[in-house]
Amino acid sequence: MASGSAGYLHGQAISPPPVHGGLAVADLVDSAFLAYNAGRLRDACHLFSRKMLEPGCTVGMSLTGALTPAGLGMSTIIPLLEAGFVDWIVSTGANLYHDAHFGLGMAMHRGSPFADDVELREHGVVRIYDIVFDYHVLLDTDTFFREISRLPEFQRPMSTAEYHYRIGRYVLEREKALGLERKSILGVAHRCGVPLYTSSPGDSSIGMNVAALALTGSQLRFDVSADVNETAAIVLDAKRSGGQSAVLIAGGGSPKNFVLQTEPQIQEVLGIDERGHDYFLQITDARADTGGLSGATPAEAVSWGKVDPEKLPDAVVCYLDTTVALPILATYALARHAPRPLRRLYDRRGALMERLQAEHAAARGTPVTA
């Protein structure tokens, strides 16, 4: 061994045992995922299960890309919610809209990415890469959202978390009537008290249907300022309660920024003393060198105050397809970590906002107003 090289050669020697048909997913990750992106996924599994899921750490998740049409809501995200492994979510509206199909008893099917789309259109079939479904799934889901959103309880401005929570109750009722169970993130999040936010509520079929109702006098409006402040309040409370804040980012885009901007909102805008999220875990296929947010690294996030610089060594980015990496990450965590008590952050929104308002007032040197 060359002089001075020992300090670089302290990692696990690469000498994995052969894989076999009875190998569990978690054991496969630990024994065979040793280098390259497999190595980063192993790092992600360890970070998530050993640090992010420890008591006192609040986990926020962002969801981007057509994950729910591919079944990841049922297979992966719902088990994470029920195990208490995800405490709050920022999602594209599209993921929640397509999630509703399953809770309403509608079907999506595996298809071919090479289908003739002109022919599909002629036969009333919609395609999302290799997923296909009947056009009436869209029409019937639109009808559901419009009928529920017309009800008196929706005739006022509200945060997207409140809207999704209220919608979730009706999805649960429909599941019960159809003899279904655990099909929809909206329904399970309602049951578990997990707040679901949408960073761009007008950019989905849910927002399109709400906009259509506004043309006929509906008073329902999405209060995006409430979304910004409620998510900041969740993060501030995680820190002020003696705990930590972690972000699990599936994809990138607007939901990634929204879950991360909570810290700049606290520090830069509200003037409250804070240092950034403690743990950053992202699964993405985007590159950093294009300047797009989806590929922005945790080191770059430090410069914005989004990530605590002292915790940067714990940050992990996996350059993988989310549909591959997320089920493996979830399976590993469920195998290696016991379920956590549900935080039910939705139920605590009022108290969390009171803390945020008090600290903002103190930072400004002004009394708290009702």
pLDDT at site 112: 95
Q: Model-level pTM?
A: 0.93
Domain count, the chain: 1
Distance separating alpha carbons of residues 274 and 235, to the nearest angstrom: 10
Residue 197: per-residue pLDDT = 98
The predicted pLDDT at position 309 comes to 79
What pLDDT, on a 0 to 100 scale, did the predictor assign at position 137?
Answer: 97
Domain limits for position 133: 23-360
- Answer whether residue 6 is part of any domain: no
329 within domain boundaries: yes
> Residue 2 domain-assigned?
no
In-domain check, residue 7: no
Quote the pLDDT of residue 6: 66
Q: Which CATH number fits the domain that encloses residue 164?
A: 3.40.910.10
Label residues 123-159 b or e (16+ Cβ within 10 Å = b).
Answer: eebbbeeebbbbeebbeebbebbeebbeeeebeeebb
Q: Which residues does the chain have with pLDDT short of 70?
A: 1-4, 6, 292-293, 295, 298-299, 367-370
Which residue of the set 183, 256, 306, 311 is catalytic?
A: 306
pLDDT in tens, 171-202: 999 999 999 999 999 999 999 999 999 999 99
How many other C-beta atoms are found inside a 10 Å radius of the C-beta of residue 26?
17
pLDDT given for residue 368 in this prediction? 60
Please confirm, yes or no, whether 176 is among the known catalytic residues. no
Which pLDDT value is given to residue 370? 52
CA gyration radius for the chain? Answer: 22
Mean residue pLDDT of the chain comes to: 93
Task: Name the β-bridge partners of 89.
Answer: 61, 196
